[in-house]
Amino acid sequence: MDNFDWSATGFRNKKDAHTMKGLTIFLYEWKHFVRSPFKIVATVLFVFAGMYGLHNGEKLYQEQMGVIATISEKSQEQINKHTLFFDQENPSPENRPWVNLSMPDWAIWYTRTYHFKTPSPAIVYSIGQAEQYGFYKRVNYMSSPYDTDMTKEIANPERLQTGTIDFAFALIFLLPLLLIILLYNLKSMEHEQGFLPLIEVQIATKNIWLMSKVLFYFVFIYLVIVGLLFYGALLTDVFASSGSIFGEMLFYSLLYLVFWTIIFFLLIRKGSGIMENTLKMVGIWLIATFIIPAAVHQWISIEKPANLMTDFIDASRDKKEALYDEDDSVLKARLSALFPEIENSALFMDNSRNKHAFQESKLALLNELKKENIALIEAENTMKNTMVQNSYPFNLISFFQNRFNKVAKTHYNDYQNYRNEIQYLVDIQLETMVVDLWNDTKVDKERFTEYHEIFSSKNLNQN
Amino acid sequence: MWKIIKNEGKSLIRSKVLLGLSIIFFLILLCSVLLGKLQSDKQMQRSNLAKKQLRNQWENIEGMNAHGAAHYGTYIFKPSNFLNGLDEGVNSVTGNVLRVEGHVQNEIVYAEASQMQAVSKFGKLKSALLLQYVLPLLLIFLAFHSISSEKQSGRLKLLMLQGTEPSALVWGKTVSVWLYGMALLTLTLIFYALFNLNNIDTEIINRTLFFYLSYTLYYFILIGLTVLFAARANANLALTSMLGIWIIWTVFLPNILMSSVTNWHQLPSRNQFKEAMKEERSQGIDGHNPYDERVLELENQVLAEYGVDSLSQLPINFDGLRMQADEEFGNQVWNKHFGGLRSILSQQKTSYQLAGILNPFISLQNASMGFAASDNFHHQEFLVQVEHYRRTLIKALNDEHAFGGSKTGDWDWEPDKDFYKSVPDFKYQNTALDNILKNHLPDIMVLIGWTILIGLLLVFATKKMPIL
């Protein structure tokens, strides 16, 4: 063959001939595809599932944005109403004469500070863990990121357990199935019908023939995914939010598709019959998507069973009592260590006038206690997350799931950041309250408005 | 037919690939049983420890008046049933901790799923995961292979010429693969029982029998359908069709139908729900606001009842009565709103159960969770029991505050230490089997309906079976 005159075939050399044949096979696979109703139906179902998932993501985005808008509007009404109380001689709400809004603690209690986990437009791609957490919270100086109102939206637990089809679900679980359906009879059909030796005679290498066919479906599916990603981007205006979201989704989708295509290509290359190939491909899919992640989940639950938050409960009750029972001098020393600025305040040395300030300031010490116990809970959660991450080398499905969740800002860490922001706002409220109480500040309309500015979520980015 | 079943059994044992696959699968099942048991035990251990700790705190309350204790409250941890080791159901998404306190009915919080990043979309490696998703697929391949191998080898032609009835053949093949599935299911449950011998009682046996029945019916449906396709259609079409059906039944439809029923019967948003309750709650007595007009009305009523002119002359503590009046009004509000939620959830469940007519996998999942005591019915039942306990507890505390010996305004009065010990702890009562059967009758009926349909199809649609 080395002395073969390739010019007679119209090709310059063997390499050109192979490339051309590969291209022909690649293009010819389209005909195979359109002649297979089963493959067309499977592709249409995949597109349907993808679009359905995108619309589910968009629905959640709109719902959360709607709730946030309603709460913000109501909160603003409350702020306006409460501000008007300062026009009275004794600023107090109706029917609550014991409330004195000129005192910093009451005034801060009556600020309406809400903090939201505003959904990213990229939620259209992956709902992720968004349905497991709350996304709004009214923050006051007694709040904590683990308060019971931080719970998820009201939902049917069986729906949460079944899960919502989002785009990431279609991609992670249905894409490999689509690939199986598109690839299951490649080579094995020719093998069973006895055409394989004929094909081997007609083409120089069987690998290029098979590769060209697989490549066709790879390109075809990727184009479908790109189309779906683009469609999703239009639903929640992903492009206006950040250009990197679309790019990251393109990249990880490609990576995921490459992963499955290589696995299935190798199986088809080694395998022979349709039944054998299908069984192997479905088997690998089951192991990768069901058994490995489920086994990792089970292992983590055995190592670290669900936290019942007893540390946090203790901090809110018995440890709190123990703290409050400590000697005043000890507590005062702790307070001044926490807020050194109060040592020069008007009331610090005046024990006859600082009882109220001292009593309310204990909340700041309680907050520190809660933070210490929250740290224990979060350390356990971090350990669980580390265990999940350590499984990634053999648990790629969880890796991709969490990558998509990160892009969509629906990952555990995004909600952890949200909890950290809430804690920051609580700290700021407490600091402001303590300093103002010890300085004997009388809150007026101006200071009340300042409080809203200080506690605003807008300040979070600067810190 | 018996001969066919016997022959199939022999060929299952003779085939090294199949035997190997069966052993591997059984080992995975055994592993899931062991891990499920281990995880349930660990969770129960943690839960019992926490429960003990909280009870101890409650019994040793000091320096607190009875209403203060109502605010101090307690926490109830969701008990885990040992059958949860088979099917975890909704437990990982519902939360585990419920605060019980005066003035408010709280929601259960701190779901396990919220305590770490996403791992598995289909839950932990429990037996139910393998029995619902993996074993059916294996049975599909076996059922398909049992017919298509006869066709491809030409034995089918021979069998027909020898006078074998097509329906006897397909029934024989169906039953033999079904028995194989049953053997794996039975072994799984036997091992589960062996690991949990101490926990077995009549109720558990009954639940397990219904659990077993649901799976036997579903496996028959799936195997029968595969044999039917394999007998009627060409090999490729039969296999791809069954794979398609499996994907649609187990991956697509449960999600889509569940989303649809939750859209038909919509739950309110948390914000709407809370605002509506707050609004209605504000119409009633406010136990902590002595300026409240309704409090003054109650005060006049009580003064008249005792024939005195002022609260200080009362032999009882009016504050306790006021708090209990507040509580009782609150209870009506909670009944209305939480009852509304439960009613919507129940409508959703009924509609979803009907969806089993389209997809028997839904009926299997419902029945599996239900008989393993881990579905939403059981979860709601737990919440209702906790709320009843809360009401009894808070009433006992308010009564102690009112009639225990203190006078109105005496917030420093503390009940006897034994009083807190005398308040019974929460004890979860298992849902009666009658109720479970009533709740899951539609699922069982749908599975029976599907079984009859497949049985009839096996008889009538295979009378003229293509033999090539």
* Predicted local confidence at residue A40, as pLDDT: 93
* Predicted local confidence at residue A8, as pLDDT: 60
Q: Which residue of B has its CA nearest to A146?
A: B110
Phi-psi region of B75 (alpha: psi -120 to 50; beta: other; left: phi over 0): beta
Task: Calculate the alpha carbon distances from A433 to B83, B445, B447 in Å.
Answer: 51, 63, 63
Q: Which amino acid is at B268?
A: P
The tokens describing A62, both together, are 């709109």
Q: Between A193 and A308, whose confidence is greater?
A: A308
Please report the beta strands in A176-319, taking only residues with DSSP state E, as ranges in sequence order: none
The answer to the question of residue B466 being in a domain is: no
3-state secondary structure A311-363: HHHHHHCHHHHHHHCCCHHHHHHHHHHHCHHHHHCCCCCCCCCCHHHHHHHHH
b/e burial code for range B345-361 (CB count within 10 A of at least 16 → b): beebbebbbebbeebbb
For the stretch A429-439, pLDDT in tens is 999 999 999 99
Nearest CB to B114; choose among A132, A308, A402? A132
How far is the C-alpha of B115 from the C-alpha of A129, rounded, in Å? 11
The phi, psi pair for B9, rounded to 5°, reads -55, -45
* A463 has pLDDT over 60: no
Mean pLDDT of chain A: 89
Question: B34 and chain A: CB distance < 8 Å anywhere?
Answer: no
| Residues of chain A contacting B47 with CB distance shorter than 8 Å | 308
The answer to the question of residue B311 being in a domain is: yes
How far is the C-alpha of A378 from the C-alpha of A375, rounded, in Å? 5
For the stretch A174-211, pLDDT in tens is 999 999 999 988 877 777 777 777 777 777 677 888 88
* Predicted local confidence at residue B116, as pLDDT: 95
Cα angle, residue B39 at apex, residues B213 and B78 outer, rounded to 5°: 80
Say yes or no for a CB contact (<8 Å) between A412 and B289. Answer: no
Q: What SS3 state is found at B75?
A: strand
For the stretch B371-391, pLDDT in tens is 999 999 999 999 999 999 999
Tell me the mean pLDDT in the region A419-427: 95
**pTM of the shown model:** 0.89
| Residues of chain A contacting B116 with CB distance shorter than 8 Å | 300, 381, 384-385, 388, 412
Q: Between A377 and B13, whose confidence is greater?
A: A377
* Predicted local confidence at residue A1, as pLDDT: 47
User: What is the spatial order of strands in the sheet that B104-105 belongs to?
Assistant: B74-77, B97-101, B104-105
Percent of chain B clearing pLDDT 90 (strictly above): 56
* B94 has pLDDT over 50: yes
Report H helices in A6-36: 14-34
The phi, psi pair for A356, rounded to 5°, reads -65, -45
Q: Residue B293's pLDDT band (boundaries 50, 70, 90)?
A: confident
Q: Residue B252's pLDDT band (boundaries 50, 70, 90)?
A: confident
- The answer to whether A303 and A398 are in contact (CB under 8 A) is no
The answer to the question of residue B395 being in a domain is: yes
The answer to the question of residue B467 being in a domain is: no
For the stretch B296-339, pLDDT in tens is 888 899 999 999 999 999 999 999 999 999 999 999 999 999 99
Instruction: Tell me which residue of B375, B441, B424, B389 sits closest to B81, measured CA to CA.
Output: B375
The answer to the question of residue B73 being in a domain is: yes
Percent of chain A clearing pLDDT 90 (strictly above): 61
The tokens describing B186, both together, are 């039975």
The phi, psi pair for B231, rounded to 5°, reads -75, -35
Total domains in chain B come to 1
The H-or-E segment that residue A138 falls in is: strand A136-139
* Predicted local confidence at residue B354, as pLDDT: 96
For the stretch B165-217, pLDDT in tens is 878 888 888 999 999 999 999 999 999 999 888 888 898 999 999 999 999 99
| Residues of chain A contacting B349 with CB distance shorter than 8 Å | 158
- Compute CA B214 distance to the chain's CA centroid, rounded to the nearest angstrom: 15
Q: Which residue of B has its CA nearest to A52?
A: B256
Question: B276 and chain A: CB distance < 8 Å anywhere?
Answer: no
Instruction: Tell me which residue of A135, A133, A134, A136 sits closest to A113, measured CA to CA.
Output: A136
CA dihedral B314, B327, B378, B201 (to 10 degrees): -10
| Residues of chain B contacting A380 with CB distance shorter than 8 Å | 115
* A240 has pLDDT over 50: yes
The tokens describing B113, both together, are 């799923």
Instruction: Tell me which residue of A384, A297, A330 sits closest to B123, measured CA to CA.
Output: A297
ipTM value, please give it: 0.89
* A6 has pLDDT over 70: no
- Rounded to the nearest angstrom, the minimum Cα separation between B1 and chain A is 26
Q: Which residue of B has its CA nearest to A284?
A: B134
Q: Between B462 and A73, whose confidence is greater?
A: A73
Domain that holds residue B204: 2-460
For the stretch A128-158, pLDDT in tens is 999 999 999 999 999 999 988 888 889 999 9
Q: Residue B135's pLDDT band (boundaries 50, 70, 90)?
A: very high
The answer to the question of residue B53 being in a domain is: yes
The answer to the question of residue B468 being in a domain is: no
Percent of chain B clearing pLDDT 70 (strictly above): 98
For the stretch A159-168, pLDDT in tens is 998 888 899 9
Highest mean pLDDT among A239-243, A281-285, A294-298, A327-331: A294-298
* B282 has pLDDT over 50: yes
